[in-house]
Amino acid sequence: MKETAHKLKSITAFEISGDCIVNEFERLASDDENVAIEAYTNITRKLLTEKTTLADYLVQLLAYSPSKLIEGYIKKEDSASLYAIEYDVSVIKELAKMSAHKIKDYLFGKFSENFIFSLPEYVTGGFDKNADYFIKHISANGSGIYAKYKAFVYQASQLVPVENPDPIRLSDLKKYEAQRNQIIDNTRAFIAGHPADNALLYGDRGTGKSSTVKALLNEYANLRIVQVDKKDISCLPELYKTLKDNPLKFIIFIDDLSFNENDEGFDILKKVLEGSICSRPSNVLIYATTNRRHLIKETESSRMGDNIHSADEIDSSMSLSDRFGLFVTFLAPGKEVYLEIVRSLILDRGIIIDREKLDRCAERFALKRNGRSPRIARQFADSLQSKLALGIDPEKL
């Protein structure tokens, strides 16, 4: 057991030293009976609680552990790094064979306590992965938090994983095909390593700008999204440094983009987009959404100013918009397009209802909310589905 503990401390390629199971296996070698028994109990509790085998747990541990060494090996193969990776996997494979029965035999031989044989047992399972499996996995999915999570927010100079990102798919979005196809084609080019543009999605609220960006995440396996708040735009150069050596592709997502007069974020974003502060890494794009044609909010003083001042503000605002190579406009739908969106959503949900009644209810729902949009259409579909499930007349929506 002491040899196993020493081998675990010698792992080089995978950064797993802080893992609870690994730590407990190291503690099993303790000469203190209480420490060793507690370590075994903690291992068993953890595996039984998570309803997993030891082997499966260890496969997941390596697949999602940070590994700068493997990321470097993927970019430039070398024999020393490959040996380190193969060595680590061999150590973990040995550990995966450590059955509960074998550990209890070891503990009894060391402490001669009969109760040890009555302790609960975990399931060992089978570890059938080799070094090549983990190299390919990290090449396709990244390592560490990038392998485990697909969406992040950037706060206080830290990437914070999003546990449950929006599951929306492109197929859930109705109409606006021409607009979405521009974003999709640009994203596909980006993922394939071809030239691609930063994108600004402009238009009325509720038309699917943000949903289009979020849906991309669920379509492409090696794409990640990092949402950056407007107040953190000054941190973009720092974020670039964090992401630039990662094998994955990243979209930096800035939602509802607009600026007040003299906002330093405005000038920083301009400089970042044109590369005068730092060049954009080849694995990063910026996608932003806005409801404003002019990104600088008009103030009372500017409205009362002269025409030259107003023209200068418009020119300044447009100078930022122009730095996005792709500008896509989403406008509020007319009545018929709105109703087509509603009908399509209802069809997807398998709801059967008279079309005239559906249109009438959907239009009344929109009028109560002061406008038509894909968002309103989806809210109506949710409300209709709930009412029908409860046996309530949809005319009462």
| Residue 277: Cβ within 10 Å count | 16
Q: How far apart are CA 394 and CA 397, in angstroms?
A: 5
Q: What percent of the chain has pLDDT over 70?
A: 90
Q: Which domain holds residue 42?
A: 2-147
pLDDT of residue 394: 84
Residues 209 and 129 in one domain: no
pLDDT band for 341, please (50, 70, 90 cuts): very high
Instruction: Tell me the average pLDDT across 194-221.
Output: 94
Residues 175 and 318 in one domain: yes
Residues 118 and 243 in one domain: no
Pairing of strands 151-155, 158-161: antiparallel
Report whether pLDDT(241) > 60: yes
Q: What percent of the chain has pLDDT over 90?
A: 74
Residues 187 and 295 in one domain: yes
Instruction: Tell me the average pLDDT across 8-17.
Output: 94
Residues 103 and 21 in one domain: yes
Sheet holding 284-290, edge to edge: 158-161, 151-155, 223-228, 249-254, 284-290, 199-203, 326-330
Give the number of domains in the chain.
3
pLDDT tens digits for 163-191? 999 999 999 999 999 999 999 999 999 99
Report whether pLDDT(306) > 80: no
Residues 240 and 157 in one domain: yes
**CATH code (residue 173):** 3.40.50.300
State the DSSP H helix or E strand holding residue 272, giving kind and residue range, or none if neither. Answer: helix 264-274
pLDDT of residue 309: 46
Q: 287, 306, 330 — which closes off a domain?
A: 330
pLDDT of residue 321: 75
> Bigger pLDDT: 27 or 313?
27
Residues 220 and 363 in one domain: no
Distant-in-sequence, close-in-space partners of 307: CB < 8 Å, separation ≥ 6: none
Q: How far apart are CA 337 and CA 175, in angstroms?
A: 8
Residues 291 and 245 in one domain: yes
Q: Which two tokens stand for residue 76?
A: 């430039």
Ranked by mean pLDDT, which of 4-18, 78-92, 307-321 comes out on top?
78-92
Residues 181 and 284 in one domain: yes
Report whether pLDDT(345) > 80: yes
pLDDT tens digits for 40-73? 999 999 999 999 999 999 999 999 999 999 999 9
> Bigger pLDDT: 44 or 230?
44
- The conformational region for residue 367 under phi > 0 = left, psi -120 to 50 = alpha, else beta, is alpha
Decide: pTM greater than 0.85.
no
Average pLDDT, the chain: 89
| Residue 177: Cβ within 10 Å count | 11
Quote the crossing angle between the two packed helices 264-274 and 307-321, to the nearest 10°.
40
pLDDT of residue 319: 67
pLDDT tens digits for 253-299? 999 887 766 666 777 787 777 766 667 899 999 999 998 766 655 54
Report whether pLDDT(353) > 80: yes
Residues 11 and 68 in one domain: yes
Residues 302 and 161 in one domain: yes
Q: 147, 180, 214 — which closes off a domain?
A: 147
Q: 95, 130, 147 — which closes off a domain?
A: 147
In Å, what is the CA distance from 331 to each residue of 258, 317, 325, 374, 380? 18, 20, 20, 10, 19
Residues 158 and 200 in one domain: yes
